[in-house]
Amino acid sequence: MTHDELLALVEMEEQPNGLFSVGFADPDLVNCTGHDFRKGPLKNVMFLSKFGSHLHGTTTPTSDLDLKAVFMADLSDIVLGRDRETVTASSGGDGRNEADDLDIEFIELRKLLSDAMKGQTYAVELLHADQGSEIFSTDLYEDLRANKDKLLTSNVKPFIGYCVSQAKKYGMKGSRLKATEEALDFLKESNRNHRVEDVVDEIPKNDIVFVVDKDLAAQDEPVQLLEINGKQFDMRVKLKDVTPVLENLIGKYGNRAHRAKDGVDWKAVGHAYRVIYELEELLTTGAIQFPLKDREFLREVKLGNVEYERVQEELPELIERVDGLDTDLPKKPNRQFWDDWALSAYQKYVSF
């Protein structure tokens, strides 16, 4: 099915309170959690938008259709503890989604507000979804977005998500390997009978290769050692005794790196780049524009059309740059404003 045909499966009807009910033309076609659509639509939905690659502008021929919505639980469900933070519906099976699959996640309003205050990526993205991605919005959701400056904070920096932290380790792994290989190449080109002290001034230095002072119990003064990727070498050691250690280190490390080269999860790498770019834009401008300005490059990354070596070097540098950014975003959200706003919204729009 095309994405337009998938979207036609979703039935939307405006309610008297200005919010929407959302259901499916054939509820048996979707697997659901949190709500039984066979018994009726989900009510009090205030926003529905395309999400994922359709929001970012990075779709490929294999992209499925992801939607995200924001809804308000009934007061009776809240009081009786039957309310759900999320409701999901998917036309796909248990395996990986294909291009003709539809996924919808409904986020309860209180969870969205809480996650936005924590800097969760999906919540920040929903607050910036463009009109081209919107399927419908409401006055209530537009009022929420109009006040997002009281919701978003500089605390997004520690919460940029799992994929960025993984990308940092992933990129640093490649950087450490490259630095070790460069040090080994330099030592192999030198006289193997020379000692470390003979070449220590010339060997290329970086965060992985450097000279360290170490206090030893039997020495009155600190002893200088050459450290290469965590291995430390005395200045009197001959190079012929250093190179086998580095070769062994690279052999163990390199096997993992070469396996990664042959099977890089480019989709995950693309997510990491995207989150970094989004965070940089948010911290510097206070907002994120969709579709993303870097969408063409992000699509190339997702398709694996970018050099592996570029990823190894660039991702750690991007993360370091963004980590060091100053921002005008407030340090804390205006919780009193949102407490009052939420109470007013639930009193006005939902009932028992």
For the cut 60, the answer to whether the pLDDT of residue 143 exceeds it is yes
Residue 294, classed as helix, strand or coil, is coil
Chain mean position to CA 313: 18
The structure tokens 């994405």 sit at: 3
| pLDDT, mean over the chain | 88
Pull the structure tokens for residue 50.
């395309």
Establish if 274 belongs to a structural domain.
no
The pTM of this model reads: 0.74
Establish if 34 belongs to a structural domain.
yes
Number of domains in the chain: 1
Establish if 290 belongs to a structural domain.
no
Establish if 193 belongs to a structural domain.
no
Establish if 86 belongs to a structural domain.
yes
| Cβ(225)–Cβ(203) below 8 Å | no
Parent domain of 337: 3-153+330-349
Return the minimum-mean-pLDDT range out of 10-19, 94-103, 167-176, 325-334: 167-176
Q: Which of 337, 340, 339 lies closest to 149 in space, CA to CA? A: 337
How many residues are given for the chain? 352
User: Rounded to whole angstroms, how far apart are CA atoms 45 and 278?
Assistant: 27
Q: Give me the helix-helix angle, 335-349 and 109-118, nearest 10°.
A: 170
Establish if 106 belongs to a structural domain.
yes
For the cut 70, the answer to whether the pLDDT of residue 42 exceeds it is yes
**Residue 3's pLDDT band (boundaries 50, 70, 90)?**
confident
Q: What is the CA radius of gyration of the chain?
A: 27
Pull the structure tokens for residue 161.
């998500």
pLDDT for res 172: 56
In DSSP notation, 9-54 reads TEEEEE-TTS-EEEEESSGGGSEEESS-GGG-PEEEEEEEEEETHH
User: Rounded to whole angstroms, how far apart are CA atoms 182 and 186?
Assistant: 6
| Cβ(40)–Cβ(15) below 8 Å | no
195-233 confidence digits (pLDDT tens): 999 999 999 998 889 999 988 777 778 899 999 999 999
pLDDT for res 199: 95
User: Rounded to whole angstroms, how far apart are CA atoms 49 and 66?
Assistant: 9
Establish if 241 belongs to a structural domain.
no
Cα dihedral 28, 103, 85, 19 sign: negative
282-291 confidence digits (pLDDT tens): 999 999 999 9
For the cut 90, the answer to whether the pLDDT of residue 157 exceeds it is no
Establish if 9 belongs to a structural domain.
yes
According to DSSP, the β-strands at 134-137 and 42-51 are: antiparallel
Pull the structure tokens for residue 40.
């009726």
For the cut 50, the answer to whether the pLDDT of residue 261 exceeds it is no
For the cut 60, the answer to whether the pLDDT of residue 94 exceeds it is no
User: Rounded to whole angstroms, how far apart are CA atoms 45 and 67?
Assistant: 13
**Residue 185's pLDDT band (boundaries 50, 70, 90)?**
very high
Element of type H or E holding 249: helix 239-262
Of all residues in the chain, the percent with pLDDT exceeding 90 is 64
In DSSP notation, 148-186 reads GGGT--GGGGGGS-HHHHHHHHHHHHHHHHHHHHHHHHH
